[in-house]
Copies of this chain bind each other. A is one copy, B any other.
């Protein structure tokens, strides 16, 4: 029995207490470019941030907000400009955004988080943004058309959403998430924004520890191009309106809640990987038989990040030598002589050596929407999974002309 149910029409506003909205404020030419999630009550909150040294202004401001009381009542997100590489003026702009939103909602400044995504090194157009905030506060609703999920996109080709329902103390608790990804996606919080809402009753510190553990195995295990951005964040808000007994690791339903939360993060991460810039395929790399968990993660990420592996999969070429090679440079201490490699369940190398396989069949399997690469080192019990996408002409096209 699965510990939770997956909603067929996911919405970030399904958990009790949340409204959202996305509008066109004029930061981009035509598309929606400004959005917010608003909670009726102060929600317990936690977040993880990019490890890039050059953190964008909104990352700094959101950190300050959450650190103060570990509570949030609104998140404002714009696309178009990343407000990164913008120095003191950029920081002031992020503060002004937060302040105006707080003012409009009549809540303390530090109950507002801000996030930006788009071009680095351009200032926010503050007049348009501030005018947009008024509209946003007026119009925020159950957002049946998912305008929020759309307003946060850049080169993404589809909005990323997920919603699950889990039983806690015999009543339904909801967890929902939206995300944006596309370029600059790499382990350790790359250009990627994720927003998760839940109506569960759960303390901010529990929420933070759950988020950190889960992000490590989900968002941090995806790679589109190896570039970690300046702006990445995943924010979770828990309204507590489901009224369950507070969730902690000793709660009898904790494992269900944890599994549901993990699914939400993993599903958003996979949707991001699948929608990598120019991608035609989702690649899932499963590493087994490693002596340490961190090593398994490192190898899985190296394989899924290898341009040569990614280009071979785009070309539907079962070139397992490149997989072996990526495994080799990511883990110099492993012995290659025990390594087995499968591509979409067909064994292509055993104990580090070629085995005969049906090339036509594997080439066919490589044309599927999802390609699974399994590497077993037979040198321990640890495993890890990473997700990525193929490297295509369109990736080059999109990134050769992003600003123009």
Contacts and interface: CB of A to CB of B under 8 A. Distances in A.
Interface string A208-252: 000000000000000001111110000000000000000000000
A347 interface: no
Given A121-B320, A312-B402, A403-B317, A352 B54 contact: yes
Contacts of A10: none
Interface in A116-138: 119-123
A360 to B, nearest CB: 12
A320 B404 CA distance: 14
A372 interface: no
Interface in A55-91: 55, 82, 84-87, 89
A266 interface: no
A354 B121 contact: yes
Interface in A267-312: 305-308, 311-312
A403 to B, nearest CB: 6
A6 interface: no
A328 interface: yes
Contacts of A395: 307, 311, 396
Interface string A324-353: 111111011111110100000000010111
Nearest to A355: B121
Given A228-B329, A229-B325, A328-B54, A400 B315 contact: yes
A400 B311 contact: yes
Interface in A179-233: 183-184, 186, 188, 225-230
A53 B333 contact: yes
Nearest to A400: B315
Given A51-B332, A87-B353, A325-B54, A317 B121 contact: no
A321 B227 contact: no
A171 interface: no
B86 A329 contact: no
Given A311-B395, A319-B402, A329 B52 contact: yes
A157 interface: no
A345 to B, nearest CB: 19
Contacts of A120: 319-322, 324-325
Given A121-B320, A401-B315, A308 B396 contact: no
B183 A53 contact: no
A254 interface: no
Contacts of A308: 183-184, 225, 227, 399
A42 to B, nearest CB: 32
Nearest to A353: B87
Given A349-B121, A393-B393, A402-B317, A329 B227 contact: yes
A314 interface: yes
A97 interface: no
A321 B82 CA distance: 10
Contacts of A188: 329
A327 B85 CA distance: 12
* Residue among A55, A335, A400, A401 having the largest count of chain B Cβ atoms under 10 Å: A400
Contacts of A333: 53
Given A54-B336, A311-B395, A315-B402, 6 more contacts: A52-B325, A53-B334, A85-B320, A308-B399, A312-B399, A393-B393
23 contacts: A52-B328, A53-B328, A53-B333, A53-B336, A54-B325, A85-B321, A86-B353, A89-B353, A121-B320, A121-B324, A121-B354, A184-B308, A188-B329, A225-B306, A230-B324, A230-B325, A230-B328, A312-B399, A314-B396, A317-B403, A319-B403, A393-B397, A395-B396
